[in-house]
Amino acid sequence: MASSAFVDLDRWCGLGDTGMFIEHGYLHLTGRLDGMINSGSFHVYPDEVREAILGLPGVSAALVVGEPDPAWGEAVVACVVSTDPKIADTLREALRDRLAAYKIPTVVHRVESLPDAEPG
């Protein structure tokens, strides 16, 4: 039985997952309310990855999201505004000393700008 700390008055347990019911009454998990990325059995918080990316030279803005991945459930993906034209090729290596391997984005997109992005 779930701990009473996680159960509301109607005995529902809210852990932050979002989902929808699909055919045959199955529940398909679609994401999290807190933005956490579920990659394999690991939990990755986008803000932690974003802060690590913003600490790199030449990076002015970053967005980190989870995208569907057939093997891992979600893959960590980064969109980065940078003066470095090769950032998409070098970012993963640059993060090796800053993040655990499972938190490093598997896909990096260099973009010109991000909507509503605040500079580093």
Q: What is the pLDDT of residues 35-48, one digit of tens each?
A: 788 888 899 999 99
The structure's pTM equals 0.72
Overall fold of domain 40-120? GMP Synthetase; Chain A, domain 3 (3.30.300)
Q: How confident is the model at residue 2 (pLDDT cuts 50, 70, 90)?
A: very low
Measured in degrees and rounded to the nearest 5, phi and psi for residue 107 equal: -130, 135
pLDDT per residue as tens digits for the range 69-103: 999 889 999 999 999 999 999 999 999 999 999 99
Q: Kindly provide the residue ranges of all beta strands, DSSP E only, lying in the chain, ordered along the sequence.
A: 17-21, 27-32, 37-39, 42-44, 59-69, 73-82, 107-110
Decide which of 57 and 13 is more confident.
57
Q: Rounded to 5 degrees, what angle do the CA atoms 100, 106, 108 make?
A: 115
Which residues are paired to 7 by β-bridges? 13
| Domain segments of the chain as ranges | 40-120
